[in-house]
């Protein structure tokens, strides 16, 4: 992404006018530096702050170009600063710029350092399937994934099990504010996910001893902030160097598969009519409603005829209460109710014969995975029969949820 492409629309903003500064990420127990976050800075004047540069690029439709310039600056200045393994380099990526064209140009992670791409939580809620596909591509290129600015909105915690980030960065407001029920809900969700996946938790905004203590109390083992080190072009040599200790993660999406196929071999499915499956489905909906903002509910109804007005009404209510609600089926089109993400299925899709309901949160995992025995659809209330399993195996539920998510675009 050449700098010249931006020059006509944003005078003065070129590769040579952008530089990076680096703020340390510190082990709160050992006081060792485990990495640095690259922060972009513009030329002297109105475009010096990254927010000003982003606003200008967004206004001119050049987010991809600016995102590439930020990344190129981070890698170039990190090399000049001597940031290398075992230190980790954290690089920000604007989620709006993580499309296929940009990812094709995204560099493979240099083996001389460990790299982590930071993605904000807000984008994961607005376009989760696309961002999860981007996560897979970045991991293929050797990058780790950080979920950045996890803040006071508990609903964002719902996507953590789907993305399975290597690092969770807590928004500075959590360490700096007085605890309340929302902070408690976010902290509990993050701790539950960290215990299940061994991800790293970084508390941002540590500026005082009280912030330091609050970060430790919330479960963070790593931190960033002025108390621990200010951003600098050439960071001072650390007295102690540590390692982040990331572990390999599986791909998040399984395009072309089906939730029923996620069931492990050796578990014989049961046989049931629609009446039992309907009750089980609604039971899972109630479980999701009980959990609230940290829950994801994903369902496949085979065909639009089974997504009845009553079911549509129920899911609309759930969409306004849960973190993420998605519905799939043949003939379904995008709904005017933006609280529910709706997508159609192709006729040959293996999910077209399935009735799947998945509920997933950091604390709970359950799925009804059913496949119609007779290829005919019949009508509601007929004697259709399914082979099915009800599972609470978290690995199976996560795999099924990711498979559903791959169609939810």
Structural domain span for residue 280: 260-405
Name the residue with higher pLDDT: 152 or 27: 27
**Quick one: pLDDT at residue 380?**
44
The pLDDT confidence band at residue 6, using thresholds 50, 70 and 90, is very low
Q: Closest by alpha carbon to 243, among 187, 150, 166, 174?
A: 166
What value does the mean pLDDT take over residues 292-321?
Answer: 94
Are 218 and 275 part of one and the same domain? Answer: no
Are 293 and 176 part of one and the same domain? Answer: no
297 within a domain of the structure (yes/no): yes
Asked if the model's pLDDT at residue 127 lies above 80, the reply is no
For the ranges 131-140, 244-253, 364-373, the lowest mean pLDDT is seen at 244-253
194-230, pLDDT tens digit by residue? Answer: 998 889 999 999 999 999 999 999 999 999 999 999 9
10 Cβ neighbours under 8 A, 6+ residues apart: 47, 56, 57, 60, 62
Q: Closest by alpha carbon to 406, among 347, 348, 297, 326?
A: 326
Are 219 and 272 part of one and the same domain? Answer: no
Are 191 and 267 part of one and the same domain? Answer: no
Cβ–Cβ < 8 Å for 114, 89: yes
What is the CATH classification number for the domain harbouring 268? Answer: 3.30.870
How far, in Å, CA of 329 to CA of 60, rounded?
38
pTM for this one? Answer: 0.85
What is the CATH classification number for the domain harbouring 194? Answer: 3.20.20.450
User: Which helix (H) or strand (E) is 38 found in, with range?
Assistant: strand 33-41
Asked if the model's pLDDT at residue 178 lies above 50, the reply is yes
**Residue at which a domain ends, from 195, 223, 251:** 223
**Quick one: pLDDT at residue 295?**
94
How far, in Å, CA of 230 to CA of 238, rounded?
13
Average pLDDT, the chain: 87
**Quick one: pLDDT at residue 104?**
75
């Amino acid at each position: 992404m050449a700098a010249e492409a931006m020059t006509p629309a944003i005078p003065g903003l070129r590769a040579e006018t952008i530089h990076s500064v680096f703020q340390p990420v510190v082990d709160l127990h050992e006081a060792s530096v485990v990495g640095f976050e690259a922060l972009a800075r513009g030329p002297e004047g109105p475009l010096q702050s990254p927010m000003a540069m982003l606003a200008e690029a967004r206004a001119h439709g050049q987010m991809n170009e600016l995102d590439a310039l930020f990344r190129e600056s981070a890698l170039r200045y990190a090399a000049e600063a001597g940031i290398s393994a075992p230190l980790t380099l954290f690089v920000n990526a604007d989620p709006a710029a993580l499309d296929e064209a940009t990812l094709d140009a995204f560099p493979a992670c240099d083996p001389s350092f460990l790299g982590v791409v930071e993605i904000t939580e807000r984008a994961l809620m607005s376009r989760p399937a696309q961002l999860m596909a981007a996560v897979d591509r970045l991991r293929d290129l050797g990058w780790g994934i950080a979920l950045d600015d996890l803040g006071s909105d508990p609903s964002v915690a719902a996507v953590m099990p789907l993305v399975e980030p290597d690092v969770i960065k807590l928004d500075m407001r959590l360490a700096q504010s007085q605890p309340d029920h929302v902070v408690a809900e976010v902290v509990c969700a993050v701790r539950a996910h960290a215990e299940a996946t061994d991800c790293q938790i970084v508390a941002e905004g540590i500026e005082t001893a009280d912030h330091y203590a609050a970060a430790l109390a919330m479960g963070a083992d790593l931190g960033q902030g002025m108390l621990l080190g200010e951003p600098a072009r050439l960071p001072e040599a650390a007295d102690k160097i540590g390692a982040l200790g990331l572990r390999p993660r599986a791909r998040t999406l399984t395009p072309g598969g089906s939730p029923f196929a996620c069931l492990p071999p050796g578990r014989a499915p049961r046989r049931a009519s629609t009446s039992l499956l309907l009750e089980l489905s609604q039971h899972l909906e109630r479980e999701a409603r009980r959990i609230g903002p940290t829950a994801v509910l994903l369902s496949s109804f085979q065909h639009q005829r089974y997504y009845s007005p009553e079911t549509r009404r129920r899911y609309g209510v759930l969409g306004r209460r849960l973190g993420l609600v998605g519905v799939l089926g043949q003939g379904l089109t995008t709904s005017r109710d933006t609280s529910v993400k709706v997508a159609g299925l192709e006729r040959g899709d293996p999910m077209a014969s399935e009735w799947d309901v998945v509920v997933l949160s950091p604390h709970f995992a359950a799925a009804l995975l059913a496949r119609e025995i007779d290829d005919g659809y019949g009508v509601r209330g007929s004697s259709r029969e399914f082979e099915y399993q009800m599972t609470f195996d978290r690995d199976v539920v996560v795999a099924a949820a990711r498979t559903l998510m791959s169609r939810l675009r």
